[in-house]
Amino acid sequence: MHTRIAEIQSYLRHNDHSLAVRRILDASLDTADGALLQEAIRVSQSYRQYKQGELPASFFESAQQLLNKINTVTERFAYQSTRLVTARDISKTYGSGNFSLQPISIQINTGDVLGVVGENGNGKTTLLRCMAGQLALDGGNLEFPLLEHPDHYDIKHHLAFIPQRIPRWYGLLKDNLHFAAAISGITGEENRIMVDFMLERLDLTPYAHLTWTQISSGYRTRFEIARILLQKPRLLILDEPLANLDINAQQSILTDLRFMAKSVHNPMGILLSSQQLHEVEKIADTVLLIKNGSCLFRTGEQEKTAAAFVIELETTANREALLNILNGNGELQFNGGFYTITSKELQAQQILTKLVTGNIPITYFRDITHSTKRFI
Partner 1 sequence: MNINRPLMPGFLKRAEQKLLLNKPLIWSTRVHLVLYYGILYNLLLAGLCFVAPIDLTGYSHAPYWIGFIVIIDIIGLTVWLIYLLRFNVFKKYGNIKPLHALVTFLMYFISVGIIVLSAFVYPAVECIRANVAFGDEELVHDINTMNIRICQLEHKRLNTPWKYDTVAPVKDIKVKADSLPREVDYDTIVAPVEPAVIPAHGSYKLDTATFQDRLVHADSVVKLNDTMYLDYQTPDLLFVSAYRMEDGDTREKLLSSFEIYNRSIRNPPASGENTAIAKELLQLQNKYLNKSNSYYPGYGEEVEPGETTNGLIRKKYHIADISTSVYNIANKKDTFSDTSLGLIIRSFYYFTLVISLLVFIFRHTTVRTFFLSLLTGVLLTIFTVLIESLANGGFEMFIGSMIGYALLFFVGTIFTFSLAKRSKVNGILINLFIFMIPVLPLLVVDLIYELKKEQNYRQHGSYYGAEVEQYFAYAEIGGAVLLLVLLATYLNKVYRRWYSLPEN
Applying CB under 8 A, which residues contact partner 1?
95, 133-137, 151-153, 155-157, 170-172, 174-176, 178-180, 182-185, 187-188, 191-192, 209, 231
Residue 155 vs 264, nearer CB to partner 1: 155
Q: How far is the CB of 207 from partner 1 (least distance, A)?
A: 13
Q: Sign of torsion, CA 144 148 152 153?
A: negative
Q: How far is the CB of 99 from partner 1 (least distance, A)?
A: 14
Residue 175 vs 285, nearer CB to partner 1: 175
Q: How far is the CB of 191 from partner 1 (least distance, A)?
A: 5
* Phi, psi at 21, each rounded to 5°: -65, -45
Pairing of strands 83-93, 159-162: unpaired
Q: How far is the CB of 133 from partner 1 (least distance, A)?
A: 5
Residue 80 vs 153, nearer CB to partner 1: 153
Q: How far is the CB of 156 from partner 1 (least distance, A)?
A: 4
The rounded distance, in Å, linking the Cα atoms of 169 and 309 is 48
Residue 54 vs 151, nearer CB to partner 1: 151
Maximum CA pair distance of the chain? 70
201 CB burial (10 A radius; 0-12, 13-18, 19+): buried
Residue 229 vs 287, nearer CB to partner 1: 229
Residues 6+ apart with CB under 8 A from 78: 264
Whether 308 and 361 have beta carbons less than 8 Å apart is answered as no
The rounded distance, in Å, linking the Cα atoms of 154 and 132 is 12
The residue among 162, 154, 143 whose CA lies nearest residue 271 is 162
The residue among 278, 302, 286 whose CA lies nearest residue 376 is 278
* DSSP labels, 36-49: HHHHHHHHHHHHHH
Residue 156 vs 291, nearer CB to partner 1: 156
Residue 183 vs 323, nearer CB to partner 1: 183
Residue 153 vs 248, nearer CB to partner 1: 153
The rounded distance, in Å, linking the Cα atoms of 268 and 261 is 5
DSSP tag of 342: E
From its phi and psi, is residue 189 left (phi > 0), alpha (psi between -120 and 50) or beta? alpha
Q: How many residues comprise the chain?
A: 376
Q: How far is the CB of 240 from partner 1 (least distance, A)?
A: 20
- Going from the C-alpha of 166 to that of each of 162, 216, 241, 297, 318, the distances in angstroms are 7, 12, 10, 29, 45
Q: How far is the CB of 273 from partner 1 (least distance, A)?
A: 18
Q: How far is the CB of 224 from partner 1 (least distance, A)?
A: 12
Residue 168 vs 336, nearer CB to partner 1: 168
Q: How far is the CB of 63 from partner 1 (least distance, A)?
A: 29
